[in-house]
A and B are shown apart, each in its own frame.
Chain A
Amino acid sequence: MGSGAMADAYDLIVVGGGPGGYVAAIRASQLGMKVALVEREHLGGICLNWGCIPTKALLRASEINHLLHTLDAYGFAADNPRFDFQKVIKRSRQVAGQLSGGVKHLLKKNKVTVVDGHGALAGPKTVRVTKDGKDAATLTSPHIILATGARARVLPGIEPDGRTIWTYREAMVPPAMPKSLLVIGSGAIGIEFASFYANMGAKVTVVEVMDRVLPAEDAEISAFAHKAFVKQGMTVLTGATVKKVAKTGAGATVTVEEKAGSEKGGKVSEIAVEVVISAVGIVGNVENLGLEGTKVTVERSHVVTDGLGRTGEPGVYAIGDLTGPPWLAHKASHEGVLCVEAIAGKNHVHPLDVTTIPGCTYCRPQVASVGLTEAAAKAKGHEVRVGRFPFIGNGKAIAMGEAEGLIKTVFDAKTGELLGAHMVGPEVTEMIQGYAIARSAELTEAELMHTVFPHPTISEAMHESVLDAYGRVIHI
């Protein structure tokens, strides 16, 4: 785009080039629309540049480090296994860079016009793009999708300073490997960093305000993961709040209160660490979007939409993290596609059912789930049948030396609907899609039992868990 203000007309403008925005733009282009995508920083968004992808590169490294320290179990020996921390970080950045370039290529291939700068609504059907505080372009379209994502929530008194107090962003490009750190929040982001640093050799403490880690997961999975983390050497404090973070020369002293009612009952302790990572949720990027004076409703930092991305303002849509939980890249992408298809008037476009969206956490052991937890299913009035299968009963898992884990399935007792599936253990993030397909296709336990799972694979544990729900399990 040129530097002067010029009005270009499009069929669709997408503001934000993350996994919601760029996928929406490509789908719109496939449907024959003329599309502009406005991105202020990196194509691929947080996911690709500062989230999902680079953390997976880091976690892969920590997994290798873990294996290097368990070589003996497999009959190997290596003297003094070590790593170059900066190389580990550099590889993660290279992975992100490679994929960001890939998105740029995909957009070009699909003839999406990429506009560099900050996009904001500027009157009806108009987006003004500014770059370095100066007007860069004015775009018009009857349809504008906002996909500006979200950022880390900041707690007062625990503002990130880039040195001692980090968010996910600093935690991904640390200047040096910290010897000790404390993670506030045990959701997916907090637990992944805790797992990475713990497996790289740091002494890690996790503080969670809820009564269990990974509080969105099924309670049994949380309990299983908690035990596994403690066994690996992590300190996990649940039902606990951070009262104060006092910075010191060597890092920080964190005052943690474990609530009355938890096992230790109202105990206050001080924990000295080099680094504190704050992972206490995220807030939507709703500022400076020109929403003032429109009928777009913002509630608790997220844009309110109907199931197909429509806001209160005709012609303005919102998708992905900007619209609230679950804050997942694949949710954003899928919403982008649905939103565009609804704009294009496609048939059979249905709002996304969140209970069909799988969620994955890439800690060690991995955690993955789809649908309702047992407690949520009961709360919704379902009479349930629950199946469980531990990986210790699975041949491939034992052969791999990764027999720690559990698969839990929750069925509606009357209809046989797979209400939810909850997994902790090796490669479960790769396997959860099997249950996700079962939910989307509305399979019952009968089809799952009739499906032949190949032997020997860890996926056999998925089959066995279903069998267990109906009293037919073979291998336990």
Chain B
Amino acid sequence: MTNILMPALSPTMTEGKLAKWLKREGERIKAGDVIAEIETDKATMEVEAVDEGVLAKIMVPEGTEGVAVNSVIAVLDGGDAAPAPKPAAAAAPAAAVANPGPTKGFDPQPDPPKTNGHAAGRVFASPLARRMAAQAGIDLSTLKGSGPGGRIVKADIDAALAGAAKTAPKTVPAAAPAPAPAAAPAPKAVPAPPAPPIAAPHRLVPHSTMRKVIARRLGESKATIPHFYATRDVELDSLLKLRAELNAKSPKEGPGAFKLSVNDLVIKAAALALRRLPAVNASWTDEGMVLYDDVDISVAVSIPDGLITPIIRGADRKGLAAISNEMKDLAARAKAGKLKPEEFQGGSFSISNMGMMGVKDFAAIINPPQAAILAVSAGEQRPVVKDGALAIATVMTVTISVDHRVIDGALAAEWLGVFKGIVEDPLQMML
């Protein structure tokens, strides 16, 4: 018998939704077979079988939310034809959380928890933090300590638990032999201060995992990052001309074909501006300023029920055709919910473009831990004054939102100037 555990699809993942079982109990499985789909905060991932055998028991029914990483989701019978596993064994990781511990009397005290299996360097944590983490199934190496010298202390565990509790039912009803679907959604942690009830007639749509993540991350961003904004108008005529000329050179079909969008050129222009002013390609941390080696541009893509920011990595070094084709592929897979975590986690700068929707001007919320995001609006023909006379130019308004801890006003203005210079003299992008 082999336990199949809830996989961690990213280093920060602590739980996920078991969206779908693709195999049934009793079905034979080969290594590499896709057995289930897991929905994390941002993507749907497939779980592949590592071993061969018969799917003896599904411990977590599909549709269950908040399944903790490393909890047992199913049992694989390797062929020794043993009876179904004892539910108690499977329930152990969850029970460790639910059981408040020893009762009265002279019961022996368990040994203090040993450091966990992560051998990569010593994790500094207080004894209390270690025990609380062990009880909650938190991997200490995933936490940042706020104590003396970065030591992980109780407050850090409390914060991690508070973050998890917003979405996490604590246990999976694994002990029930065949849980009825109604029993599956475990009780949800109720938010502490109940908001005043809404009296107006309404219906309540439960939050999706993504909606919760958007709410949390953007809420944190606005609450903790001192934003300020700088806006400039950028003339697009030269860029549109170059785009038309380049697109005309694309082969009709085949692997070398491309069709550049304005957004592709904006990505490249922003990436070059970041390479020239690397202080903007940065993140704030308490320890010091993080200056990224690479220019990785996160591009906001609207998808059903939310948005996601796939990343064009090393955008300053990529050609326009490569950026364009990569962006198309990422956007298509984003809309299908098939991005891999590493394709949307990270990034050093973000771009949000609402130009195709006719927006004239807007300011975006910084995508933490990045320090800046560029809001790109629609290009439109506007009257401009050139050499003292009225003329018509295609103009778009861009607004950069920056973290003032990282980027001061003068630097933000300078960056906009560099960006504008590249867009208005777009042949620089070809260098």
Which A residues are within 8 Å of any B CB, using their own CB?
347-348, 350, 383, 413-417, 441-447, 449, 470-472
- Per a CB cutoff under 8 Å, which of A350, A413, A442 touches B102? A413
Point out the residues of chain B lying under 8 angstroms from A444, CB to CB: 112, 127-128, 131
Interface size on B, residues (CB 8 A): 25
Looking across the interface, which residue of chain B has its beta carbon closest to that of A446?
Answer: B112
Interface centre among A350, A413, A444, A470 (most CB of B within 10 A): A444
Q: Are A442 and B109 in contact (CB under 8 A)?
A: no
Give the docked Cα–Cα distance between A470 and B102 (Å): 10
Point out the residues of chain A lying under 8 angstroms from B146, CB to CB: 348, 350
Point out the residues of chain B lying under 8 angstroms from A350, CB to CB: 146
Point out the residues of chain B lying under 8 angstroms from A417, CB to CB: 128, 154
* Given A415-B132, A471-B106, A472-B106, A442 and B101 contact (CB-CB distance below 8 Å): no
Q: Are A383 and B105 in contact (CB under 8 A)?
A: no
Looking across the interface, which residue of chain A has its beta carbon closest to that of B155?
Answer: A350
Q: How far is the CB of B402 from chain A (nearest CB, A)?
A: 21
Q: Are B107 and A442 in contact (CB under 8 A)?
A: no
Q: Are A414 and B101 in contact (CB under 8 A)?
A: yes
Q: Are B132 and A348 in contact (CB under 8 A)?
A: no
Point out the residues of chain A lying under 8 angstroms from B111, CB to CB: 446
- Per a CB cutoff under 8 Å, which of B106, B109, B135 touches A414? B135
Give the docked Cα–Cα distance between A21 and B153 (Å): 30
Question: SS class of chain A's interface: helix, strand, loop or mixed?
Answer: loop
Give the docked Cα–Cα distance between A445 and B101 (Å): 14
Give the docked Cα–Cα distance between A472 and B105 (Å): 10
B26 at interface, CB cutoff 8 A: no
Point out the residues of chain B lying under 8 angstroms from A472, CB to CB: 106, 109
- Per a CB cutoff under 8 Å, which of B127, B129, B132, B286 touches A446? B127
* Given A348-B148, A416-B131, A446 and B101 contact (CB-CB distance below 8 Å): no
* Given A415-B132, A442-B153, A472-B106, A447 and B101 contact (CB-CB distance below 8 Å): no
B100 at interface, CB cutoff 8 A: yes
Q: How far is the CB of B381 from chain A (nearest CB, A)?
A: 48
B126 at interface, CB cutoff 8 A: yes
- What 7 A-B pairs come out closest when comparing CB atoms? A471-B106, A442-B126, A442-B128, A446-B112, A414-B101, A414-B100, A444-B127
B80 at interface, CB cutoff 8 A: no
- Per a CB cutoff under 8 Å, which of B135, B147, B150, B287 touches A415? B135
21 cross-chain CB contacts under 8 A: A347-B287, A348-B148, A348-B149, A383-B100, A413-B102, A414-B100, A415-B131, A415-B132, A416-B131, A441-B127, A442-B128, A442-B129, A442-B154, A443-B128, A444-B112, A445-B109, A446-B112, A446-B127, A470-B109, A471-B106, A472-B106
- Per a CB cutoff under 8 Å, which of A348, A383, A470 touches B147? A348
Interface centre among B102, B105, B129, B146 (most CB of A within 10 A): B102
Interface centre among B112, B128, B148, B149 (most CB of A within 10 A): B128
Point out the residues of chain B lying under 8 angstroms from A445, CB to CB: 109
Q: Are B127 and A443 in contact (CB under 8 A)?
A: yes
Per-position binary interface string of chain B over residues 90-127, scored 1 when its CB falls under 8 Å from any chain A CB and 0 otherwise = 00000000001110011101011000000000000011
* Given A350-B146, A442-B126, A443-B128, A413 and B101 contact (CB-CB distance below 8 Å): yes
Contacts A441-B127, A442-B153, A444-B112 known; 13 new A-B pairs at CB < 8 A:
A348-B147, A413-B100, A413-B101, A413-B102, A415-B128, A415-B135, A416-B128, A442-B126, A446-B111, A446-B112, A471-B107, A472-B106, A472-B109
Give the docked Cα–Cα distance between A231 and B111 (Å): 44
Per-position binary interface string of chain B over residues 223-239, scored 1 when its CB falls under 8 Å from any chain A CB and 0 otherwise = 00000000000000000
Give the docked Cα–Cα distance between A416 and B134 (Å): 13
Looking across the interface, which residue of chain B has its beta carbon closest to that of A449?
Answer: B109
Looking across the interface, which residue of chain B has its beta carbon closest to that of A447?
Answer: B127
Q: Are B131 and A471 in contact (CB under 8 A)?
A: no
Give the docked Cα–Cα distance between A347 and B147 (Å): 10
Point out the residues of chain A lying under 8 angstroms from B129, CB to CB: 442
Give the docked Cα–Cα distance between A414 and B132 (Å): 9
Q: Are A447 and B154 in contact (CB under 8 A)?
A: no
Q: Are B109 and A446 in contact (CB under 8 A)?
A: yes
Q: How far is the CB of A214 from chain B (nearest CB, A)?
A: 28
Looking across the interface, which residue of chain A has its beta carbon closest to that of B101?
Answer: A414
Looking across the interface, which residue of chain B has its beta carbon closest to that of A353?
Answer: B155
Looking across the interface, which residue of chain B has its beta carbon closest to that of A439?
Answer: B128
Q: How far is the CB of A352 from chain B (nearest CB, A)?
A: 13
Give the docked Cα–Cα distance between A4 and B430 (Å): 71
Looking across the interface, which residue of chain B has its beta carbon closest to that of A471?
Answer: B106
Q: Are A442 and B127 in contact (CB under 8 A)?
A: yes
Looking across the interface, which residue of chain B has its beta carbon closest to that of A441?
Answer: B126
Considering the complex, which residues of chain B in the window 266-321 have a beta carbon less than 8 Å from any beta carbon of chain A? Answer: 286-287
Q: How far is the CB of B209 from chain A (nearest CB, A)?
A: 29
Q: How far is the CB of B192 from chain A (nearest CB, A)?
A: 13
Q: How far is the CB of B327 from chain A (nearest CB, A)?
A: 40
Q: How far is the CB of B162 from chain A (nearest CB, A)?
A: 15
Point out the residues of chain B lying under 8 angstroms from A413, CB to CB: 100-102
Looking across the interface, which residue of chain A has its beta carbon closest to that of B105?
Answer: A471
Q: How far is the CB of B390 from chain A (nearest CB, A)?
A: 48
Q: How far is the CB of B430 from chain A (nearest CB, A)?
A: 45
Q: How far is the CB of B322 from chain A (nearest CB, A)?
A: 42
Q: How far is the CB of B347 from chain A (nearest CB, A)?
A: 26
Q: Are A347 and B286 in contact (CB under 8 A)?
A: yes
Point out the residues of chain B lying under 8 angstroms from A414, CB to CB: 100-101, 135
Give the docked Cα–Cα distance between A443 and B131 (Å): 10
Give the docked Cα–Cα distance between A466 and B150 (Å): 29
Give the docked Cα–Cα distance between A353 and B100 (Å): 25
Looking across the interface, which residue of chain A has its beta carbon closest to that of B110?
Answer: A446
Point out the residues of chain A lying under 8 angstroms from B128, CB to CB: 415-417, 442-444
Give the docked Cα–Cα distance between A445 and B131 (Å): 11
Q: How far is the CB of B102 from chain A (nearest CB, A)?
A: 7
Give the docked Cα–Cα distance between A441 and B153 (Å): 9
Give the docked Cα–Cα distance between A414 and B154 (Å): 14
Q: How far is the CB of B103 from chain A (nearest CB, A)?
A: 8
Point out the residues of chain A lying under 8 angstroms from B287, CB to CB: 347
Q: How far is the CB of A414 from chain B (nearest CB, A)?
A: 5
Point out the residues of chain B lying under 8 angstroms from A446, CB to CB: 109, 111-112, 127
- Per a CB cutoff under 8 Å, which of B105, B107, B112, B153 touches A447? B112
Q: How far is the CB of A338 from chain B (nearest CB, A)?
A: 13
Give the docked Cα–Cα distance between A443 and B102 (Å): 18
Q: How far is the CB of B193 from chain A (nearest CB, A)?
A: 16
Give the docked Cα–Cα distance between A417 and B129 (Å): 9
Give the docked Cα–Cα distance between A442 and B146 (Å): 13
Point out the residues of chain B lying under 8 angstroms from A471, CB to CB: 105-107
Give the docked Cα–Cα distance between A287 and B35 (Å): 73
Give the docked Cα–Cα distance between A443 and B287 (Å): 26
Give the docked Cα–Cα distance between A449 and B153 (Å): 20
Q: How far is the CB of B136 from chain A (nearest CB, A)?
A: 10
Looking across the interface, which residue of chain A has its beta carbon closest to that of B147?
Answer: A348
Point out the residues of chain A lying under 8 angstroms from B286, CB to CB: 347
Give the docked Cα–Cα distance between A414 and B157 (Å): 14
Point out the residues of chain B lying under 8 angstroms from A383, CB to CB: 100
Point out the residues of chain A lying under 8 angstroms from B150, CB to CB: 348
Point out the residues of chain B lying under 8 angstroms from A347, CB to CB: 286-287
Give the docked Cα–Cα distance between A297 and B383 (Å): 54
Give the docked Cα–Cα distance between A317 and B426 (Å): 54
Point out the residues of chain A lying under 8 angstroms from B154, CB to CB: 417, 442
